[in-house]
Amino acid sequence: MSRFTSALTIPAEKLEKFQTAAHIGGIVAAALGIVSVLLPWSYAHEALDDVTYSAAPSPLQYNYIGLAVIAVVLFAAPLVLRKPGKARDWVAWNTGARFAGYGLLATGFVGVAAIGIESGGLINVDPGGWLALVAGVVGAVSGLVLFRSPEPSMGRIKTNTIVQIIAIAGGLAAVLFAAAFALGLSGAGAFLFYLTFAAFLALTLVRTGVFGWFAKCAADNKKILVLAAFFVAFVFPFTQNGSDANMSIATQVLIFSATALGLNIVVGLVGLLDLGYIAFLGAGAFTSAVLSGSLYSHIHWHPPFIVTVLISGCVSSFLGLIIGTPTLRVSGDYLAIVTLAFGEIFRITMNNLDGSDGPNITNGSNGINNVPELSFLGFNFGDAHQIFGIQVGRFANYFWLMLLVLAVIMVVFVNLNRSRIGRGWVAIREDELAAEAMGVNTFGLKILAFAGGAFLAGLAGAVKAHYDVSVTPDQYVFLESAFLLAAVVLGGMGTVMGVLIGATILKLLPEKLRFFSDYRLMLFGLLLVFMMRFRPEGIIADERRQLEFHAEDEELAEDVQEELIAYHDHFNPDAVTTEDLR
């Protein structure tokens, strides 16, 4: 990558005299952007979310104005803050301004392209649209000319706890609002426009260092953050006014995330590549469906759901043991292919247990249909309910259940990661021979991870069977395993946040961008290759993991070391300080 960027870099002395001009250029660009919004962007009503009116911006355009205002602030501030001082050093004004400029260009470009495609030709783009594109070009060029700022120091500001909590609440509320808004957009163009906007807004905030401050707030109030995040997720169904379409997507995202988190234990923490993970989800789903009392099931024992869930988990982890015990003894590469073969065995077996090629348990390729709705203490998950006067439908019920399952999986994941077991796993991942030499029970820990991950997938599968109503073998093909793996890799192996983001992206994009559904798989294959090539640690990187992929990065190594020492001191306050040992 650096080869390409260095070719673009212009010597600093040439840029020197253009700095002020660039700041002003950026302000002009943002102003042009705001003016463009007051003009109609398109002649056609169907493009974006109807941007045909003058002096009456559409909701999407209001978002665009927000980006432009941020760009104005970032470009203008260094002109005002001439003297070095706290306010000047806290925020990386220039770097942020550069990304805001890129953001103006990207949103302007996507906007014009979307209008051109959705309304059948660029002829439908009004002067406002072209002006937005021009504003973007000016903004991006201005941003490119700016020098980079020094490292922002906002992450070191000491803030009152109450302010921090308010900031967390505000941030999460913004996320909730953005998610609800994005899901409410109907057209693919509008969704892409919003996505571009959100991505560049986030990137700008990260680069200015504002995120550093948020990260500090979050780190200081971890429990509050987690509770607040769950509260936000919990109230999400209320923002949907009983709309089933979005809740259905949201529930699918949760099921997918829960499964991906289970896989993340195996792949992210221990570094074992499991290519048949979907089979464990399938085993859970089939077990739960067979025991659910569906008319298509031939086993007439219907335990309550709590029992079924545990049985499903146990069946999955038992399968995990069967497949893991022989393969975990040999090199990791075998595991990948054997699990892949196991995934195929599972699918074929489920297909064959239909009464003609084997005992009739799963109804073969027809699968088990009409899985009854869950019912807990008289609360039927299939019915719509009125809560606080707001109608919440079937999908919202399952959404909340999955949220609970996800919470359980996250608690297990985080606690394991921070325990003796988790450290053993990381040691195995980093160097199995060395770990074994240090007395880590590598085989036992690997089996534990493998069976444990399978158990979690079994739990998710048990809910999925009821949610999907029918369970068929062709839902559990290799590609689904590959998708799960992609969620883990894309988001960041070994992290919770990253995997949640990766899973959301991989489930949400295909739902919202139907027009590229034919190319979805191909792009997904390319994505895996490019991720491995350019950012193997994923969107959100686990720092230690990142170090494994960038072994020569000294600065990163020091960061990681500091963090580990701080962590150690935090948990062993009486121990000899690690400073002394150095």
Partner 1 sequence: MDLFWQQLINGLSLGALYALIAVGYTVVYGIVQLINFAHGEIFMTGAFGAFATWVVMGSPSSMSWQVAVFGMLPVMILGGIIVSVTMALLMERLAYRPLRDAPRLAPLISAIGISVFLQEFVRLFFGDIPGMPDSKRAIPFPNIEGISGRSVSFGNVNVQISALFTLGALVVCTAFLWFYVNRTKTGRAMVATSQDPDTARLMGINVDRVIMAAFAVGAALAAIAGVAQGMRVGNIDFRMGFLAGLKAFTAAVLGGIGNINGAVVGGLVLGVVESMATTFIPGQFGSPAWKDVWAFVLLILVLVFRPQGLLGAKVVDRA
Indicate whether 449 belongs to the interface with partner 1 (CB under 8 A).
no
CA distance 330 to 323: 12
**From 10, 21, 56, 348, residue interacting with partner 1 (rule: CB under 8 A):** 348
Indicate whether 349 belongs to the interface with partner 1 (CB under 8 A).
yes
Indicate whether 122 belongs to the interface with partner 1 (CB under 8 A).
no
Task: For the CB of residue 475, give the shortest distance to partner 1 in the complex, in Å.
Answer: 18
List all residues 6 or more positions away from 378 whose beta carbon is below 8 Å from its beta carbon: none
Indicate whether 336 belongs to the interface with partner 1 (CB under 8 A).
yes
List residues bridging with 42 in a β-sheet: 125
Indicate whether 435 belongs to the interface with partner 1 (CB under 8 A).
no
Stretch that binds partner 1, among 81-89, 108-116, 277-285, 344-352 (CB under 8 A): 344-352
Of residues 289, 216, 256, 173, the one with CA closest to residue 487: 256
Indicate whether 536 belongs to the interface with partner 1 (CB under 8 A).
yes
What string marks each residue from 468 to 497 as x (binds partner 1 by CB under 8 A) or -? ----------xx--x--x---x--------
Residue number with CB closer to partner 1 (21 or 526):
526
**From 10, 122, 227, 521, residue interacting with partner 1 (rule: CB under 8 A):** 521
What string marks each residue from 304 to 333 as x (binds partner 1 by CB under 8 A) or -? -------------------x--xx-xxxxx
Structure tokens at 3: 């080869």
Would residue 364 be called left, alpha or beta, if left means φ above 0 and alpha means ψ between -120 and 50 degrees? Answer: left
What string marks each residue from 539 to 568 as x (binds partner 1 by CB under 8 A) or -? ---------xx-------------------
CA distance 95 to 75: 10
CA distance 385 to 400: 13
List residues bridging with 391 in a β-sheet: 386
Note the residue count of the chain. Answer: 582
- 381 CB neighbour count, 10 Å cutoff: 21
Indicate whether 447 belongs to the interface with partner 1 (CB under 8 A).
no
Stretch that binds partner 1, among 114-122, 203-211, 348-356, 403-411 (CB under 8 A): 348-356
Answer for the pair 473, 362: CB distance below 8 angstroms, yes or no: yes
Stretch that binds partner 1, among 48-56, 127-135, 289-297, 341-349 (CB under 8 A): 341-349
- 155 CB neighbour count, 10 Å cutoff: 17
Indicate whether 358 belongs to the interface with partner 1 (CB under 8 A).
yes
List all residues 6 or more positions away from 300 whose beta carbon is below 8 Å from its beta carbon: none
Structure tokens at 404: 């609970």
Stretch that binds partner 1, among 292-300, 340-348, 414-422, 503-511 (CB under 8 A): 340-348
DSSP category for residue 18: T
Answer for the pair 139, 98: CB distance below 8 angstroms, yes or no: no
Helix (H, G, I), strand (E, B) or coil at 291: coil
Structure tokens at 477: 């093909």
What string marks each residue from 378 to 397 as x (binds partner 1 by CB under 8 A) or -? --------------------
Task: For the CB of residue 3, give the shortest distance to partner 1 in the complex, in Å.
Answer: 12
Task: For the CB of residue 442, give the shortest distance to partner 1 in the complex, in Å.
Answer: 10
Indicate whether 263 belongs to the interface with partner 1 (CB under 8 A).
no
CA distance 96 to 137: 16
Stretch that binds partner 1, among 76-84, 199-207, 250-258, 532-540 (CB under 8 A): 532-540
Answer for the pair 298, 469: CB distance below 8 angstroms, yes or no: no
| Residues near partner 1, by CB under 8 A | 267, 271, 273, 275, 323, 326-327, 329-334, 336-338, 340-342, 344-345, 348-349, 351-352, 356-359, 432-433, 478-479, 482, 485, 489, 518-519, 521-522, 524-529, 531-533, 536, 548-549
